[in-house]
């Protein structure tokens, strides 16, 4: 699906259409000036024809302003043809009205800009030839001098200027964009290359080297178990880093704690972390509490593994640390002293909670809930 911010009309086309629009408005203003002069000073000019030409030019100028909002409309042959019909009518009006001087001003020229925009230099020159022919016929029929007729060729000059300018701008823009996309592609390629190298190096430095050590130490099960587990964690972190580049929030902090405790107490911590959130103060307090809970489980439970689970729930982080160790009777443990007390107090102070559920011989579960994150 195409997202809405992708603009189907390139910037260059919007700019060109603006230029065409300015030519049209200026051409019309110039014509309006001449129409006013003709109206006031030329009693021979047929007023109906003069007014009709002015109104037609005004209406079509408004239509052009509207059409410029969707530049693709202005590039259709229908628009160019209708635009030309109006321009030809305006250009012929001076002759039909019997005015002593031409009053079409810059309006016909603006058709050349429209044609150049729609079809480049070729179309603008074709339009200029049509206009010139119209003028020459008009000059001849109204019996003017042959020298005046040559003035019609000014249209061809304009057509060349418009056509050449628009074609060149478009070509340059296309070249620039092609160069940019080639550069972008190369950049992506290089980034991929670097990523591949980094991955290969990392695999070599960690996995391969550890495996070699494992092979030499194969007859020491404890050492092998330790090496394999620390390697598992290294790979876990690596995967995590590749999946969530730049992440240094709750999840990363919890994994660091897990590694710390596993190393210190030679216990396996089976970890499920469902959501990641930024490390705000209440979340940090929960991470610290988790460290204590894991330490207790590792030191006192006697279990070979501990489960660590965390989720984000209604603006709070919840962590569960569960072991299947010896457990204890919470009621028998004196309240108000030691680590459990200080931890609980700290969690309460930050708006959270710290709950221990334990039964002798069934293990212990600690539930840590952080204070509100926002």
Q: Give the residues lining the site for other proteins (CB under 8 A).
A: 1-2, 5-11, 177, 181, 270-274, 306-307, 309, 311, 320, 322, 324, 365
For the record, the structure tokens of 302 come out as 């006697």
Cβ burial, residue 7 (10 Å; 0-12/13-18/19+): exposed
* Residue whose CB is less far from other proteins, 134 or 276: 276
Helix (H, G, I), strand (E, B) or coil at 347: helix
Q: Cα–Cα distance between 83 and 86 in angstroms, integer? A: 5
CB of 326 to other proteins, least distance (A): 16
CB of 5 to other proteins, least distance (A): 7
* Residue whose CB is less far from other proteins, 1 or 332: 1
Helix (H, G, I), strand (E, B) or coil at 321: strand
Helix (H, G, I), strand (E, B) or coil at 85: helix
* Residue whose CB is less far from other proteins, 46 or 230: 230
CB of 86 to other proteins, least distance (A): 31
Residue whose tokens read 């876990």:
236
CB of 271 to other proteins, least distance (A): 8
CB of 256 to other proteins, least distance (A): 19
Radius of gyration of the chain (CA): 41
Cβ burial, residue 165 (10 Å; 0-12/13-18/19+): middle
For the record, the structure tokens of 229 come out as 């587990």
CB of 311 to other proteins, least distance (A): 7
* Residue whose CB is less far from other proteins, 5 or 215: 5
CB of 318 to other proteins, least distance (A): 10
CB of 307 to other proteins, least distance (A): 3
Q: Cα–Cα distance between 282 and 358 in angstroms, integer? A: 25
* Residue whose CB is less far from other proteins, 165 or 240: 240
* Residue whose CB is less far from other proteins, 1 or 81: 1
| DSSP codes of every residue in 96-120 | HHT-SS---TTHHHHHHHHHHHHHH
Residue whose tokens read 């229908």:
78
* Residue whose CB is less far from other proteins, 176 or 341: 176
Which segments of the chain does DSSP mark as H helices, in order? 11-41, 47-67, 71-74, 77-97, 107-141, 146-149, 154-203, 209-216, 221-243, 250-265, 281-296, 338-349
* Residue whose CB is less far from other proteins, 2 or 337: 2
CB of 241 to other proteins, least distance (A): 16
* Residue whose CB is less far from other proteins, 6 or 44: 6
Do the beta carbons of residue 240 and residue 246 sit within 8 Å? no
| DSSP codes of every residue in 173-184 | HHHHHHHHHHHH
Q: Cα–Cα distance between 124 and 204 in angstroms, integer? A: 66
Cα separations in angstroms, 153 against 100, 127, 159, 226, 310: 20, 12, 10, 92, 82
* Residue whose CB is less far from other proteins, 47 or 225: 225
CB of 96 to other proteins, least distance (A): 45
């Amino acid at each position: 699906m195409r997202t809405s911010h992708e603009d189907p009309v390139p910037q260059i086309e919007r700019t060109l259409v603006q230029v065409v629009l300015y030519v049209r408005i200026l051409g019309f203003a110039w014509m309006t000036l001449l129409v006013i002069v003709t109206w006031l000073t030329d009693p021979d000019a047929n007023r109906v024809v003069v007014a009709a030409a002015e109104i037609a030019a005004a209406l079509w100028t408004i239509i052009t302003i509207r059409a410029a909002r969707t530049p693709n409309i202005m590039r259709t042959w229908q628009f160019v043809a209708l635009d030309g019909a109006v321009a030809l009518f305006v250009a012929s009006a001076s002759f039909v009205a019997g005015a002593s001087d031409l009053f079409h001003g810059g309006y016909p020229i603006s058709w050349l800009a429209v044609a150049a925009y729609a079809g480049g230099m070729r179309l603008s020159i074709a339009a200029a030839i049509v206009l010139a022919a119209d003028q020459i016929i008009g000059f001849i029929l109204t019996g003017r001098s042959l020298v005046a007729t040559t003035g019609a060729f000014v249209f061809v000059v304009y057509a060349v200027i418009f056509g050449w300018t628009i074609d060149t701008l478009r070509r340059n823009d296309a070249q620039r964009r092609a160069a940019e996309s080639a550069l972008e592609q190369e950049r992506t390629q290089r980034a991929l290359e670097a990523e591949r190298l980094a991955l290969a190096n990392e695999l070599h430095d960690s996995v391969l080297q550890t495996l070699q050590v494992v092979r030499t130490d194969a007859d020491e099960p404890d050492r092998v178990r330790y090496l394999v587990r620390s390697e598992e964690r290294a790979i876990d972190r690596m995967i995590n880093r590749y999946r969530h580049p730049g992440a240094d929030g709750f999840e990363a902090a919890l994994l660091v704690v897990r590694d710390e405790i596993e190393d210190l107490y030679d216990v396996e911590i089976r970890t499920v972390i469902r959501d990641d959130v930024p490390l705000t103060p209440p979340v940090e307090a929960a991470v610290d509490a988790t460290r204590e809970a894991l330490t207790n489980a590792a030191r006192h439970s006697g279990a070979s593994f501990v489960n660590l689970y965390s989720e984000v729930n209604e603006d709070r982080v919840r962590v569960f640390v569960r072991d299947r160790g010896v457990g204890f009777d919470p009621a028998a443990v004196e309240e108000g002293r030691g680590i459990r007390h200080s931890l609980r107090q700290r969690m309460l102070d930050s708006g959270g909670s710290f709950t221990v559920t334990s039964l002798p011989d069934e293990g212990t579960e600690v539930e840590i809930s952080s204070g509100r994150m926002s």
